């Protein structure tokens, strides 16, 4: 094992939905490790914002407008990337949505939409890149799973069902294509500091923590929220040659939540 085994020099990495947030952080980390970054988003304005953010970070990224639930559009994007940038060596299935609605109030259409984006799309994009990975003789697929791949929680029935399915899709891709030197693993983020979670971390007028913030801190052995930077090292590892014999696993980056039963009430 040498440090060069962690390098992504010469690799083309597609990170879906990486205009901002977790996807942006992972893609930026892979760029620093030497990868050429390609990303998509569903609207041109989001792609433009993403390209501007990468440029500000000193990264030349290639952005494409594509709905990852549309199989024909994904196949066309992957073909275009191969022609304009290069064959995809690394795929990060990051694009996802969540709808926090009690199960009995959620419509079947809303349930299907979450499953479509969070589970069907990773299947569609993985299916599109695997043939070229087989031909090239290697490939890395990283699925952004969740603690909800293991746990249930109020109001997230569709999300938990999709992320649980994504864990099993990860294992099945590893099982089916491992012999072609393709490794498929997952990353399961814990509760991460992002603009979307900022309201849950704001101090209350009396200076106390938000109730949900208190809940997360109490449930996390690390006693803090994660940052997007906490996900970069695991992602680079799973994308690099250092993980060539790691296949079919989900690496939970959660500060220890899943290992912890919680504090005894006082």
Radius of gyration, alpha carbons of the chain: 19
Instruction: Determine whether 159 is an active site residue.
Output: yes
Measured distance CA(118)–CA(31) in Å, rounded: 25
Distance CA 80, CA 82 (A): 5
Return the closest-CA partner of residue 78 out of 125, 32, 119. Answer: 125
- Could you give the 3-state DSSP secondary structure of residue 92? strand
The one catalytic residue among 54, 64, 159, 177: 159
Is 82 in contact with 91 (CB distance < 8 Å)? no
- First and final C-alpha spacing in the chain: 48
Q: How far is CA 219 from CA 29, 151, 160, 212, 216, in A?
A: 28, 13, 19, 11, 5
Catalytic positions are 159
């Amino acid at each position: 094992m040498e440090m060069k085994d962690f390098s992504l020099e010469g690799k083309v990495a597609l990170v879906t939905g990486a205009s901002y947030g977790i996807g942006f952080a992972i893609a930026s980390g892979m760029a620093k490790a030497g990868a050429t970054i390609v990303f998509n988003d569903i609207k041109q304005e989001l792609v433009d914002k993403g390209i501007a953010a990468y440029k500000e970070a000193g990264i030349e990224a290639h952005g494409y407008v594509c709905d990852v639930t549309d199989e024909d559009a994904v196949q066309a994007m992957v073909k275009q990337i191969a022609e304009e940038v290069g064959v995809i060596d690394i795929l990060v299935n990051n694009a996802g949505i969540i709808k926090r609605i009690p199960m009995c109030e959620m419509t079947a259409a809303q349930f299907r939409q979450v499953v479509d984006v969070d589970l069907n799309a990773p299947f569609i994009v993985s299916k599109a890149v695997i043939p070229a990975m087989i031909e090239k003789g290697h490939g890395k697929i990283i699925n952004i799973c969740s603690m909800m791949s293991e746990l249930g929680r109020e109001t997230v029935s569709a999300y938990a069902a999709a992320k649980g399915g994504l864990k099993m899709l990860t294992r099945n891709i590893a099982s089916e294509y491992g012999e072609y030197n393709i490794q498929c693993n997952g990353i399961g983020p814990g509760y991460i500091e992002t603009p979307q979670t900022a309201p849950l971390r704001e101090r209350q007028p009396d200076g106390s923590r938000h109730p949900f913030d208190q809940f997360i801190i109490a449930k996390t052995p690390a006693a803090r929220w994660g940052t997007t930077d906490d996900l970069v090292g695991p992602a680079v590892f799973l994308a690099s040659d250092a993980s060539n014999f790691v296949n079919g696993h989900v690496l939970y980056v959660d500060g220890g939540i899943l290992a912890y039963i919680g504090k005894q009430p006082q």
